[in-house]
Structure 1
């Protein structure tokens, strides 16, 4: 149906006030313009909506039926517009963030705290998964943004770098004698290695780089979290590959020692990911702004 929405709005005001003149004042229109609009609506529908009386107008049976539906629809539109404005102004809304355990603990927490303090009415949902799992959740619409290890090799994903990180090897007291030397990847491969599980983006990055140098590394222990990498190295179960920026406490307090490499592993990044084909919600946009300012 091609009848314009503004005709229905005028119709509802006339029905509520039972008067063309009163409706015209509410609508800031002239009375002839209101009358013309009602006539146009009646012509397009092919029926009479009002009965004119000396005291004003009253709805016909058909007009009463139309009013019940039209008024409900307009009220719903008004509520929808209000909700949109509230969402735009971050008075209501939801933000679903996908993030890895390590990034969540060592990077994300202060940003979540700042965001929640500024926008307490936004409901936060944080989902912890590996980078590959987070990209799947992002593409299925289950999260709004994902904070992941980069690079992401997917043309449908837009990424914004937040910070650089460096992969290093660390050891505990048992292997302390090697920290005075500079080791090659081949020498490193001969030690009992502790790495993240194979599906981890971090593990794949390190493994692929070392393999590009002609060395294949095979861990004795595979773990699901960065924290466990640190703890297992601390009790001398082997040499762990960890992120330097997320291991400061263990290194500063002497729980672990960094193993020097003849060729350091190139830096990589963590960043925020979103779908190129989907615009960010106001809640998501503001959170990304906070990340970019503080990162």
Structure 2
């Protein structure tokens, strides 16, 4: 059954029998035979076929969704059995929300690679909500997020604190203003991430704490684009210290000095609620827990 599901998933994702056969190093007739066998087992057709495309029908959508979960569980089961040999070896699928994934996780992986070179991580970067869904669907071993979770059947643990600052362009009119009040910032255009992002959640919490809300909010789906927009003078934003450290060093962004800041939030990891974890997962979690101060892994950075 495992092989049938693997072939089915590959055909769906490649949208073509020939491309799936190339990916799996199989012949096209063999791929077709596997799909027919799976459809016979399930008891219905799963794919709509034409000369140009292969698409899921309604039954196929159900099977595809659960097949991804089943293969994820099977892979972890096999890894757990292999771990009985007590070797720190094998694949580790990590998901991370954008701030941690783009600016911190590469340093953590480099740290891991020096000490455990036989662990092979694969990285998925998405917003907090999407990472939560992937962990809940057994498609990731561990997720690192910046906000809270909605799936109560997941294990959730905060492991590091993040400081967030309001950043502006290098020549912004508020840079040298003394006794600046947060209410004045409601006059500005705020540039924020999309709904479901941990950074967007932090901005919404900040507005809620002050019971204020700006008249204009612009949404972008990338922290890098937000930084570029702020540098260009399009607006202001609340961003993690780790996301803006290079721009602060270069002087292209500035931090506004307000008594209410920095805004503090937690980086947390999420996993399935299970007593069984692969050796690779256990080691990665231990690295996160022991390095609560991110500067233990990254170079020390002095912020204004």
* TM-score exceeds 0.5: yes
Q: Distance in 1 between matches of 2:80 and 2:282?
A: 17
Aligned equivalent of 1:158: 155
C-alpha change, 1:82 and 1:130, in structure 2 (3 Å) is: closer
Please list the CA deviations of residues 170-192 of structure 1 after superposition, one character each: whole Å capped at 9, or x if unmatched. 11133144443343332111112
Higher Rg of the two aligned structures: 1
**Contact 2:165–2:238 under 8 Å retained in 1:** yes
User: Structure 1 residue 107: deviation in Å?
Assistant: 1.1
Q: Distance in 2 between matches of 1:153 and 1:83?
A: 27
Aligned equivalent of 1:273: 270
Equivalent position to 2:230, from 233, 237, 251: 233
Equivalent position to 1:89, from 86, 111, 127: 86
Gaps of 5+ in 2: 1-76, 293-304
C-alpha change, 1:91 and 1:178, in structure 2 (3 Å) is: closer
- Note if 1:206 corresponds to 2:203: yes
Structure 1 residue ranges, 4+ long, deviating more than 6 angstroms after superposition: 80-83
Aligned equivalent of 1:137: 134
**Contact 1:151–1:268 under 8 Å retained in 2:** no
Aligned equivalent of 1:149: 146
Aligned equivalent of 1:191: 188
Aligned equivalent of 1:294: 291
Q: What's the secondary structure of 2:257's corresponding residue? A: strand
Q: Distance in 2 between matches of 1:102 and 1:207?
A: 17
Computed over aligned residues only, the root mean square deviation of the Cα atoms, in angstroms, reads 2.6
User: Structure 1 residue 251: deviation in Å?
Assistant: 1.6
Q: Distance in 2 between matches of 1:193 and 1:246?
A: 17
Using structure 1 for the length normalisation, give the TM-score.
0.65
Gaps of 5+ in 1: 1-79
Q: Distance in 1 between matches of 2:254 and 2:85?
A: 49
Q: What's the secondary structure of 2:242's corresponding residue? A: helix
Equivalent position to 2:171, from 174, 181, 186: 174
**Contact 1:157–1:273 under 8 Å retained in 2:** yes
Q: What's the secondary structure of 2:93's corresponding residue? A: strand
Aligned equivalent of 2:121: 124
**Contact 1:122–1:283 under 8 Å retained in 2:** yes
Matches within 5 A, 1:41-56: none
Q: Distance in 1 between matches of 2:92 and 2:84?
A: 11
**Contact 2:144–2:267 under 8 Å retained in 1:** yes
